[in-house]
């Protein structure tokens, strides 16, 4: 039995909007083990975003337990949560969120600047390695405006990898990309998952994307509707190879 | 987050918007530059007024016989005869704050040369009197201590006397008669113009005091003693010291009033210094206001920057920046702007001082204190005006900040 990265028990999250109480999550329990590639699916309003914020330690549950890599986040303060995010989570956003007019290398270095244990040589070395891992070794000095959408998202993935987190948390990471580039990103994710054993939690609303993962959790109205294992996920690399040659028109 | 990383983060953030950072800095540059230039110009003019005063003999001390009660009747000081050679000797031996000392006697009379004559004053003094009063010679030589010993019949002549006795000739070497005594003119004084009371300071003949005492007035007393303090700062000490020496010399009991008085030029100096001091304060205040405006410029830009970079702040928080880190980052950006602006401002201020001196010929004195002070003030400006925007940034909710459009 491998190590549990995420452990969620009876998680509830309620928001008070004026006099009304909105119950976004109505009691969710699941665990994610090291090396899993989980997609969380659901239509809008299903509580997907709320769950993601809690998983990312940006928000805390109203009731219920959340253990990230064995740490109970309920007991942590704002600053400790920030540190936890820095050490254990790598975020990938739909809109990339790269710093404009900043080179790819400096963007990737960013999380390490908030980790005082890492020297500047180490930081530089790790950033270069992370860029290599996403196959952008030759784009160190390019700023986001000089990169394509797919390349920008790969820089963002490198930024998520650089702190050697226990989990990569992707929020609609392919939402802004065309299907070919989406498959490229998924191929990269699969590779990171398989060869480096990275645990990935990928939030999406596209069933097509979910088919690349080893497990899919379907949310509906703040509850888990379905939690299915997918023993034989599609290979994004193969899908990519079978795509017709780029349309020329 | 270490301090070094903080500087890297702040520096990279500023680097992304070089032009904006520079424009923000401009307010501080102008503020600091003008503070330094204004203070330097103010100080320079103060110093030059001071120097001019010193040329007039601002460290001069005058001893004159004091008015006194004599059997219940107040008698004017000038009719007293209390200052003698004994006092001069005592002062020369004991006084430490005094550099030059000269007795003075004067006689009014008619100066005659050939067919011309002119009513004037002959002042008998020691050679050091010229130094005390900052008198200089236009031509010729001055008399010496030897001339004092021999009561030589030589004199220096003022411009007004020359105008009336020698309208066309060079007076050097000529012999004039004053009180029926022939005097050879050995030097011409540079004109000094009127003094503060409208007296013509050039209507004068200057001779050795022994000559005036023995040959004209037949007296052993002095009317005044002139002395110069080592410098202006010690005039008070010099005054106290002279008073004590003269009291001892005059054998006054402790309950007796002084039978002389020592006067300084302090009042004159104070008036003029305070005028230029006021000027410095005024200029500094104006420059200080521009520094504050520069600070407000920083605050304005930092506020805009926080709003504009909301998503960036959200991202930084999501990858592990604490509220404190964000606060420090924005604060560091503000301080980097203000300090860099401060350094450039100091250089610009010094440069403009040099230009003012070179082109306009105004004296400027760049005081270290104004450089240090304006530098400290601009660092504080950065912290003060940068704090509120930074605090605003640090309090953002990462979830909302990430979704901010």
Q: Where are the domains of chain A?
A: 35-60+76-242
A97/B311 Cβ within 8 A: yes
A87/B399 Cβ within 8 A: no
A106/B12 Cβ within 8 A: yes
Whether residue B74 is found in the same domain as residue B181: yes
Any B CB within 8 A of A100 CB: yes
Any B CB within 8 A of A78 CB: yes
Greatest distance between any 2 Cα atoms in chain A:
58
| Count of C-beta atoms within a 10 Å radius of residue B279 | 17
Q: How far is B338 from chain A (nearest CA, A)?
A: 23
B325/A110 Cβ within 8 A: no
Q: How far is B1 from chain A (nearest CA, A)?
A: 5
Per-residue confidence at B67, pLDDT binned at 50, 70, 90?
low
Nearest to A82 among B315, B320, B399 (CB): B320
B399/A59 Cβ within 8 A: yes
A110/B322 Cβ within 8 A: no
Average pLDDT over residues B369-396: 88
B-chain residues near A56 (CB < 8 A): 318
Q: How far is A219 from chain B (nearest CA, A)?
A: 20
Any B CB within 8 A of A56 CB: yes
Range of the domain at B303: 3-52+271-403
Per-residue confidence at B171, pLDDT binned at 50, 70, 90?
very high
Encode pLDDT of B211-264 as tens digits. Answer: 999 999 888 888 889 998 887 778 888 888 988 998 888 888 888 788 888 888
Q: How far is B12 from chain A (nearest CA, A)?
A: 8
Whether residue B158 is found in the same domain as residue B36: no
- Among the residue ranges A56-60, A94-98, A186-190, B59-63, the one predicted with the least confidence is B59-63
CB contacts < 8 Å between A and B, how many? 73
Which of A113, A122, A143 to mutate: most B Cβ within 10 Å? Answer: A113
- E strands of chain A, at which residues? 4-17, 20-33, 37-41, 63-68, 71-72, 89-92, 167-171, 199-204, 215-220, 223-229
Average pLDDT over residues B322-351: 92
HEC-encoded secondary structure of chain B: CCHHHHHHHHHHHHHCCHHHHHHHHHHHHHHHHHHHHHHHHHHHHHHHHHHHHHHCCCCEEEEEECCEEECCEEECHHHCCCECHHHHHHHHHHCCCEEEEEEEEEEEEEEEECCEEEEEEEEEECCCHHHHCCCCEEEECCCCHHHHHCCCCEEEECHHHHHHHCCCCCCCCCEEEECCEEEEEEEEECCCCECCCCCECCCEEEEEHHHHHHHHHCCCCECEEEEEECCHHHHHHHHHHHHHHHHHHCCCCCCCCCCEEEEECHHHHHHHHHHHHHHHHHHHHHHHHHHHHHHHHHHHHHHHHHHHCHHHHHHHHHCCCCHHHHHHHHHHHHHHHHHHHHHHHHHHHHHHHHHHHHHHCCCCCCCHHHHHHHHHHHHHHHHHHHHHHHHHHHCCCHHHHHHCC
Whether residue B236 is found in the same domain as residue B364: no
Whether residue B174 is found in the same domain as residue B280: no
Per-residue confidence at A111, pLDDT binned at 50, 70, 90?
very high
For residue A133, is pLDDT > 70?
Answer: yes
Whether residue B132 is found in the same domain as residue B153: yes
pLDDT of residue B69: 54
Average pLDDT over residues B20-44: 88
A106/B320 Cβ within 8 A: no
Whether residue B219 is found in the same domain as residue B310: no
Percentage above 70 pLDDT, chain A: 98
Percentage above 90 pLDDT, chain A: 71
A58/B320 Cβ within 8 A: no
More confident residue, B197 or A87: A87
Average pLDDT, chain A: 91
CB A127 within 8 A of CB A196: no
Using DSSP, state whether A52 is helix, strand or coil. Answer: helix
Average pLDDT over residues A65-77: 91
- State which residue of chain A sits closest to B9, comparing Cα positions: A113
Nearest to A114 among B1, B16, B311 (CB): B1
A114/B321 Cβ within 8 A: yes
Whether residue B247 is found in the same domain as residue B291: no
Encode pLDDT of A191-246 as tens digits. Answer: 999 998 899 999 998 899 999 999 999 999 999 999 999 998 999 988 988 888 76
Any A CB within 8 A of B317 CB: yes
HEC-encoded secondary structure of A159-193: HHHCCCCCEEEEECCCCCCCHHHHHHHHHHHHHHH
- State which residue of chain B sits closest to A60, comparing Cα positions: B399
Any B CB within 8 A of A113 CB: yes
Nearest to A116 among B1, B9, B17 (CB): B1
pLDDT of residue B73: 63
pLDDT of residue A248: 54
Nearest to A91 among B2, B319, B323 (CB): B319
Any B CB within 8 A of A211 CB: no
Whether residue B383 is found in the same domain as residue B322: yes
Whether residue B46 is found in the same domain as residue B92: no
Per-residue confidence at B178, pLDDT binned at 50, 70, 90?
very high
For residue A161, is pLDDT > 80?
Answer: yes
Number of domains in chain B: 2
Query: Which residues numbered 370-399 in B keep a CB inside 8 Å of some CB on A?
Result: 398-399
Whether residue B86 is found in the same domain as residue B187: yes
Encode pLDDT of B199-218 as tens digits. Answer: 788 899 999 999 999 999 88
Per-residue confidence at B315, pLDDT binned at 50, 70, 90?
very high
Encode pLDDT of B72-122 as tens digits. Answer: 666 655 556 778 888 888 888 888 888 899 999 999 999 999 889 999 999
Whether residue B249 is found in the same domain as residue B275: no
Query: Which residue, of B262, B284, B305, is where some domain finishes?
Result: B262
Nearest to A97 among B315, B320, B399 (CB): B315
For residue A1, is pLDDT > 60?
Answer: no
For residue A249, is pLDDT > 60?
Answer: no
**Residues present in chain A in total:** 249
B-chain residues near A79 (CB < 8 A): 322-324
Average pLDDT over residues A75-95: 92
Any A CB within 8 A of B332 CB: no
A114/B319 Cβ within 8 A: yes
Query: Which residue, of B210, B228, B262, is where some domain finishes?
Result: B262
Query: Which residue, of B232, B262, B292, is where some domain finishes?
Result: B262
- Among the residue ranges A165-179, B186-200, B335-349, the one predicted with the least confidence is B186-200
Report the candidate in A21, A15, A25 with the shortest Cα–Cα distance to residue A65. A25
Whether residue B186 is found in the same domain as residue B302: no
Per-residue confidence at B185, pLDDT binned at 50, 70, 90?
very high
Per-residue confidence at B311, pLDDT binned at 50, 70, 90?
very high
ipTM of the shown complex: 0.93
User: Quick one: fold of A35-60+76-242?
Assistant: Rossmann fold (3.40.50)
pLDDT of residue A154: 94
For residue B276, is pLDDT > 70?
Answer: yes
B-chain residues near A59 (CB < 8 A): 399
């Amino acid at each position: 039995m491998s190590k549990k990265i995420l452990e969620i028990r009876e998680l509830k999250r309620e928001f008070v909007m004026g006099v009304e109480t909105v119950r976004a999550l109505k009691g969710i329990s699941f665990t994610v083990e090291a090396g899993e590639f989980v997609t969380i699916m659901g239509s809008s309003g299903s509580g997907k975003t709320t769950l993601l914020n809690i998983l990312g330690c940006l928000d805390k549950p109203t009731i219920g337990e959340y253990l990230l890599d064995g740490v109970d986040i309920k007991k942590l303060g704002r600053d400790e949560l920030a540190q936890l995010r820095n050490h254990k989570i790598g975020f990938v956003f739909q809109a990339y969120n790269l710093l404009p007019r900043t080179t790819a290398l400096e963007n990737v270095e960013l999380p390490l600047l908030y980790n005082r244990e890492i020297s500047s040589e180490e930081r530089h070395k790790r950033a270069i390695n992370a860029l290599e891992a996403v196959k952008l070794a030759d784009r160190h000095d390019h700023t986001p405006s000089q990169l394509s959408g797919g390349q920008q998202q790969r820089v963002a993935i490198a930024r998520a990898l650089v702190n050697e987190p226990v989990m990569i948390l992707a929020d609609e990471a392919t939402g802004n990309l065309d299907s070919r580039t989406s498959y490229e990103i998924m191929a990269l994710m699969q590779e990171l998952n398989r060869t480096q054993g990275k645990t990935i939690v990928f939030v999406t609303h596209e069933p097509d994307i979910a088919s690349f993962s080893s497990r899919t959790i379907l949310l509906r109205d703040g509850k888990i509707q379905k939690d299915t294992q997918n023993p034989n996920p599609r290979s994004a690399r193969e899908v990519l190879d079978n795509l017709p040659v780029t349309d020329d028109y | 987050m270490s301090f070094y990383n903080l500087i890297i983060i702040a520096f990279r953030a500023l680097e992304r918007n070089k032009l904006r950072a520079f424009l923000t800095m401009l307010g501080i540059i102008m503020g600091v530059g003008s503070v330094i230039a204004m203070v330097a110009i103010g100080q320079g003019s103060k110093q030059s007024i001071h120097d001019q005063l010193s040329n007039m003999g601002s460290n001069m001390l005058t001893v004159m016989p004091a008015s006194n009660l004599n059997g219940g009747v107040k008698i004017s000081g000038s009719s007293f005869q209390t200052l003698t050679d004994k006092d001069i000797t005592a002062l020369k031996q004991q006084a430490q704050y005094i550099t030059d000392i000269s007795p003075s006697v004067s006689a009014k009379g008619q100066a005659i040369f050939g067919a011309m004559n002119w009513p004037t004053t002959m002042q008998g003094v020691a050679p050091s009197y010229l130094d005390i009063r900052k008198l200089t010679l236009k031509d010729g030589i001055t008399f010496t201590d030897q001339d004092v010993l021999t009561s030589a019949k030589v004199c220096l002549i003022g411009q007004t006397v020359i105008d009336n006795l020698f309208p066309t000739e060079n007076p050097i070497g000529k012999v004039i008669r004053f009180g029926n005594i022939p005097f050879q003119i050995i030097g011409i004084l540079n004109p000094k113009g009127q003094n503060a009371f409208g007296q013509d300071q050039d209507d004068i003949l200057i001779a050795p005091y022994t000559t005036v005492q023995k040959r004209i007035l037949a007296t052993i007393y002095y009317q005044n003693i002139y002395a110069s303090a080592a410098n202006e700062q010690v005039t008070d000490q010099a005054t106290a010291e002279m008073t004590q020496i003269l009291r001892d010399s005059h054998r006054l009991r402790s309950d007796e009033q002084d039978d002389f008085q020592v006067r300084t030029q302090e009042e004159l100096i104070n008036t003029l210094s305070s005028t230029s001091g006021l000027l410095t304060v005024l200029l500094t205040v104006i420059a200080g206001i521009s520094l504050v405006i520069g600070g407000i410029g920083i605050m304005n830009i930092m506020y805009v920057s926080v709003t504009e970079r909301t998503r960036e702040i959200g991202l930084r928080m999501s990858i592990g920046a604490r509220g404190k880190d964000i606060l420090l980052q924005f604060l560091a950006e503000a301080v980097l702007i203000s300090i860099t602006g401060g350094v450039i401002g100091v250089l610009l201020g010094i440069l403009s001082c040099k230009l003012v001196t070179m082109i306009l010929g105004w004296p400027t004195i760049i005081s270290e204190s104004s450089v240090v002070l304006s530098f400290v003030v601009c660092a504080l400006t950065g912290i003060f005006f940068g704090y509120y925007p930074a605090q605003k940034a640090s309090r953002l909710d990462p979830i909302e900040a990430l979704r901010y459009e």
